[in-house]
Amino acid sequence: MTTSTNLVYLIALPLFSSALLLLLGRIADKWGHIFATLISASVFAVALIEFFAMQGRDGLARPATQKIFEWISVGSLHVDASLLLDQLSICFVLLISGVGTLIHVYSIAYMSHDHDRRRFFAYLNFFIAAMLLLVLGDSYLNLYVGWEGVGLASYLLIGFWNQKPAYATAAKKAFVANRVGDVGLSLAIMIAFTQFGTVTFAGVKEGAHGASAAALTAIGAALLLAAAGKSAQFPLQSWLGDAMAGPTPVSALIHAATMVTAGVYLITRSNFIFDASPTAQLMVVSVGAITLLFGAVIGTAKDDIKKALAASTMSQIGYMILATGLGPVGYAFAIMHLLTHGFFKAGMFLGAGSVMHGMNDEVNMRRYGAIRKVMPITAATFGLGYLAILGVPPFAGFYSKDKIIETAFNAGGAKGILLGGAALLGAAVTAFYMTRVIVLTFTGTKRWDENAKPHESPILMWAPMAVLALGSVTSGFLLSSGGALVNWLQPIVNENHENHAEEFLPPLVVSLMALVVIAIGVALAVFKYRTVPLVAPTNVSVFTKAARNDLYQDSFNEAVFMRPGQKLTSGLVKTDYKVIDGLLRMIGWIIQTSSTAVRSIQSGFVRSYALIMVLGVLALVVMVWLVTL
């Protein structure tokens, strides 16, 4: 452990900039975007300095901490607002600030026609601050603050154009779905506190050794619920598609590269809990496997380019979650896939944004076609991202995704075959839907609107795309050469140097199998989309209809949760009105009617008062007389 004094700047800088831009208002319109971008770049610089400093230290001295202040000290609960930068968090910090800075640069051009650009940048900076707090917090409670912060940033940015009611609804939907997950996180924190008396990662890790299996499973399940909410995993996946209502840079940064991977971070960070609870691990791999297929299937039927990419994100995060459920060997591959995915998916989203920018914000891929001729740079960067997500060697996805498939097969027994098979099938479907996106958008014939005049985007937009494309090409090789990332993360996620001794399938066979299914997927897509009708055909199979409707996730949620929930609340309101309020109203009614009756005694006639007084005195006299008799 080393103490550092720089960590707080990682969060304070963007937070300050965000507050400044929001408080200054229109005064900052002229320079707000430049300022925010510079702040983001300086955060990246601090992150780089810390990264190299960490590399210079060795072994146990690598993690750095900084205590900012004593936050809570109540009874036996002591929580410091302190930060922890270890081998795991630095990966995230570099990804968030690096990709974040690129997307800030991109947004300068992308949002140049929006008169609320300053507010947009303020929110982006706020997001960076919250996300960094999420990955830097040294306890579950600190993480929770960042967790809620990114939820707020996501809500604000999805609903950035909230003048359109549909977008405002999408923001609200994301917020509510996230809230369900947040319940899981707060439950996990509470259980951890009651079990271990502390909520720091180190304390919980220590306590987890001697904890009961039931408690660990409960914490694991609650954490998984939290991860499912934030990372759009089954069964809380429905918000991500609608979250595409936000501006495209937001989709790239928050809903592809960083925030939605917070669930993977949470599970990886809590590896000591999941490693000790096979039941929780089984839940994790099930959720991962279901979601990776779920997202892939939805991706095959979406005509909206951003929604297709969103479904793909859901599916890729499914891969990561699957990997985190595979025990100590899986975490490093999950993080590796997370990092490579951060590059190629952010790059592809920015590419989609670039296409939309040139096509009057058209998102329907059936109205695209042959765009590679007018936007060669966008097409090239998107293509590199495409090769990376498919897992074609030597692009990034090959190194990360094949490792996950391999590890899944190695899980052993029927479970291994099932998970490996699901991952392999997912790879084939991924190849199909990504090829579909490429074919519909960049090749084939023009199907544009006659008003559309597509043109290549300005350098401020294509330069970040180029950098991300470079990452999509090289990051996989760099991260895996010599087991770089695996060794780097070993002290955090795999202390005991565990490795699966038996290999179900040798890596080469897995890679070959993956390549074969990918080739099949690509060939199917190319064959199927030789001609593209302008309007989606309606006489399609049940499965296509289901996929177009997001596999009826919304209808399911509506029928199972929303309507009964509404019935329950309206029933409760009625009960409250009739029973609880009714009781109180009855008391009021009794007093009112009885006092109306009694009030008539007060006639206002002095003589009747005098008479009553006389009678009263007489009565008293009689009583005294009777008593003394």
Residue 610 is a binding residue for another protein (CB under 8 A) = yes
Give 209 or 607: the residue with its C-beta nearer to another protein: 607
Residue 623: CB minimum distance to another protein, A: 18
Q: What is the smallest separation between the CB atom of 612 and another protein, expressed in angstroms?
A: 10
Kindly indicate which of the ranges 216-224, 415-423, 466-474, 601-609 contains the residues binding another protein, using the contact rule CB under 8 A.
Answer: 601-609
Q: Which stretch binds another protein (CB under 8 A): 139-147, 517-525, 580-588, 602-610?
A: 602-610
Applying CB under 8 A, the site for another protein has a residue count of 9
CB of 607 to another protein, least distance (A): 6
Tell which residue, 93, 91, 137, has the closest CA to residue 331: 91
DSSP calls for 173-214:
HHHHHHHHHHHHHHHHHHHHHHHHS--BHHHHHHHHTT--HH
Q: Which is nearer to another protein, 530 or 599 (CB)?
A: 599
For the CB of residue 589, give the shortest distance to another protein in the complex, in Å: 22
Residue 560 or 612 having the CB closest to another protein: 612
- Residue 611 in the binding site for another protein (CB under 8 A): yes
Nearest residue (CB) to another protein, 527 versus 605: 605
579 vs 601, beta carbon nearer another protein: 601
Q: The dihedral of CA 236, 242, 245, 247: what is its sign?
A: positive
- Binding another protein (rule: CB under 8 A), the pick from 73, 592, 593, 603 is 603
DSSP 3-47: E-SSHHHHHHHHHHHHHHHHHHGGGGGTTHHHHHHHHHHHHHHHH
Nearer to another protein, 414 or 606 (CB): 606
244/255 Cα distance (integer angstroms): 8
Task: Report in angstroms how near the CB of residue 600 gets to another protein at its nearest.
Answer: 9
497 is an interface residue for another protein by CB under 8 A: no
Establish if 586 lies at the interface with another protein (CB under 8 A): no
Residues ≥6 apart with Cβ < 8 Å to 253 = 99, 100, 103, 124, 127, 259, 346
Nearer of residues 210 and 604 to another protein, judged by Cβ: 604
Per 3-state DSSP, the chain is made up of helix, strand and coil in percentages (nearest 5) of 75, 5, 20
Residue 88 buriedness (CB in 10 A; 0-12 / 13-18 / 19+): buried
Vertex 284: Cα angle to 133 and 84 (nearest 5): 20
Among 451, 538, 607, 627, binds another protein (CB under 8 A): 607
Contact status: 496 vs another protein (CB under 8 A): no
The answer to the question of residue 75 lying near another protein (CB under 8 A) is: no
625 lines the binding site for another protein (CB under 8 A): no
- Looking only at Cα atoms, what is the longest distance across the chain? 123
Q: What angle is formed at CA 306 by the lines to CA 108 and CA 175, rounded to 5 degrees?
A: 85
C-alpha 479/C-alpha 336 separation (Å) is 7
Gap between the Cα atoms of 79 and 272, Å rounded: 20
Find the shortest distance in angstroms from Cβ 599 to another protein: 8
Under the binding rule (CB under 8 A), the answer on residue 602 touching another protein is yes
Per rule CB under 8 A, is residue 598 in the interface with another protein? no
Query: DSSP E strands: which ranges in 34-124?
Result: 64-74, 77-85
- Piece of the chain touching another protein by CB under 8 A; list 13-21, 395-403, 479-487, 607-615: 607-615
Beta-bridge partner residues of 74: 77
Residue 473 vs residues 21, 234, 273, 335, 395: alpha-carbon distances, Å: 36, 30, 35, 17, 5
Stretches 163-171, 341-349, 385-393, 596-604: which one binds another protein (CB under 8 A)?
A: 596-604
User: Which positions touch another protein (CB under 8 A)?
Assistant: 602-607, 610-611, 614
